[in-house]
A and B are shown apart, each in its own frame.
Chain A
Amino acid sequence: MARKNRNPVGKNVDPEAQKKKTRTLTLKSSDGQEFSISESAAVLSIAIENMVEDDCAGGVIPLPLVDGGTLARVITYLNKHAEDGASDEEKRKFDEEFVSGMEMGVLFDVVLAANYLDIRGLLREVRRRIADRMKNKSVEWVRKTFHIESDFTPEEEEQMKKEFAWAWEGVDSDVDD
């Protein structure tokens, strides 16, 4: 085994990967801000990777569905995850902090951007954190925080009340178990 592996790790460089690291792309947000990013970081987004492969990029990649603030955040994420030598533990910690301070509106924009740009890791992380914010919270609190109004009919509301009820055993005389 060892003899066959004549190229020690690190020297066995894929010239294509090396090129990606040095090549820079420009991403343009919906509000016209431009951001430079290495190709190796940018292609962590499957959507951008496809655009680069199709060569429809032509230097500047327009992202009409992502605003500048959100794109800046996403780029921070991509750079960290493309960083040489960043350990999995380090990236995990980064993800943790990256999402934890986000306001609801920011989370919303980031989850949409991650979905649109197809950045799997980020999407997974943000989805999980959105769910975390709902855990152990009342229905009212979630509706208020997420700006959602109930659109249930009175009949549906009635049905739901039943779902939420705890019926005690042994309170009715006819219980038999």
Chain B
Amino acid sequence: MGVSRRIGTAWSDLPQEIVEKIANCLDTETDVLRFRAICSSWRSARTPFKRFPPTPLRLPFQVNPGRPLIPRHKDAYFRLIERTVYRVQLPETTEPRFWLVKTERSRDGKLRILNPVNDHRIKIQPQTQLPKLLNTLDFRVSEVCKGYALRYVNPAKSKRNNEYVYAYA
């Protein structure tokens, strides 16, 4: 220790217990993902980020019993959904401009883009040139904030029309 560092500090030689504690100071999915991609010993120092439950968290209907804003349907429930706002910038640039991208995950783990202001879904037209995958390693991506919404799900209705965002925090 101490002496070994003179030719470039040997961070990969840092005792594993210290690396683990450092890794635990990271609290966004993006940062944890990147941390685990540095080298194999760092990768094993941190378990993957626990994503918001992929199986929908169903909440009973009486979330807000005093204010029946929504017509009740039999078997209807609320689903808690998580949304993340990212700041996306081109890599290696001094260009200060950036994109704000608001996303939520669909049940199959894919991302849905929302308008950051009014939360409307932004439909990606198949004919556009947007790639099917965006490799976030190619950009500077950071998490700005997270939000949660309650989505009203009425299983009796068709898939497309059963959603109603009830509250947003």
Contact = CB atoms under 8 A, between A and B. Distances in A.
B39 A151 contact: yes
Interface in A143-177: 143, 146-152, 156, 160-161, 163-173, 175-177
Contacts of B126: 171, 173
A163 B33 contact: yes
B55 to A, nearest CB: 13
B150 interface: no
Given A143-B38, A146-B11, A148-B42, A169 B111 contact: yes
Interface in B94-148: 103, 106-113, 123-124, 126, 130, 132-137, 140, 142
Contacts of A135: 26, 28, 31, 142
Interface string B1-31: 1110100111110110110011101101011
Nearest to B143: A136
Contacts, number: 155
Interface size class of A (residues with CB under 8 A): 35 or more
Given A161-B137, A164-B33, A148 B110 contact: no
A103 to B, nearest CB: 9
Contact of B37 (A67, A70, A132, A139): A139
Contact of B1 (A65, A136, A151): A65
B135 A161 contact: yes
A4 interface: no
A168 B134 contact: yes
B40 interface: yes
A134 interface: yes
Contacts of B3: 30, 67
Contacts of B28: 135
A2 to B, nearest CB: 44
Contacts of B21: 123, 127
Contact of B14 (A105, A111, A131, A175): A111
B64 to A, nearest CB: 26
Contacts of A150: 38-39
Given A104-B9, A130-B22, A135-B31, 11 more contacts: A66-B1, A70-B2, A104-B11, A112-B18, A143-B39, A148-B42, A169-B108, A171-B126, A175-B110, A176-B159, A177-B107
Interface of B: 1-3, 5, 8-12, 14-15, 17-18, 21-23, 25-26, 28, 30-31, 33-40, 42, 91, 103, 106-113, 123-124, 126, 130, 132-137, 140, 142, 159
